[in-house]
Amino acid sequence: MITEKYRVTGMTCGHCVNAVSTEVSAIPGVTEVTVDLASGEVTVQSTEPVDEAAVRAAVDEAGYELVTA
């Protein structure tokens, strides 16, 4: 199992969390997504490495922005 953490900006409520979680969960190989609204941290567990561009596209589709380190 591979675990990656990302930071997302713009989320303000439970609906935001659900939107990001739903979009990121749809990425092939992703098995679990946990979103912390307070910190903006998104933890992605997967069976194989997930391309950051795919995560960025999913977060964009949900209407939010992935912050690069």
Whole-number Å distance between alpha carbons of 21 and 31 = 11
Quote the pLDDT of residue 69.
57
Give the pLDDT mean for 52-60. 97
Of the pLDDT bands very low, low, confident and very high (cuts 50, 70, 90), residue 17 is: very high
DSSP 2-51: EEEEEEEE---SHHHHHHHHHHHHTSTTEEEEEEETTTTEEEEEESS---
Where along the chain do its domains lie? 2-62
User: What is the per-residue pLDDT across 35-44, written as a single tens digit (0 to 9) for each?
Assistant: 999 999 999 9
**Residue in this structure with the two tokens 């977060």, named with its chain if needed:** 59
Of the pLDDT bands very low, low, confident and very high (cuts 50, 70, 90), residue 67 is: very high
- The domain defined by 2-62 folds into Alpha-Beta Plaits (3.30.70)
Enter the pTM of the model. Answer: 0.93
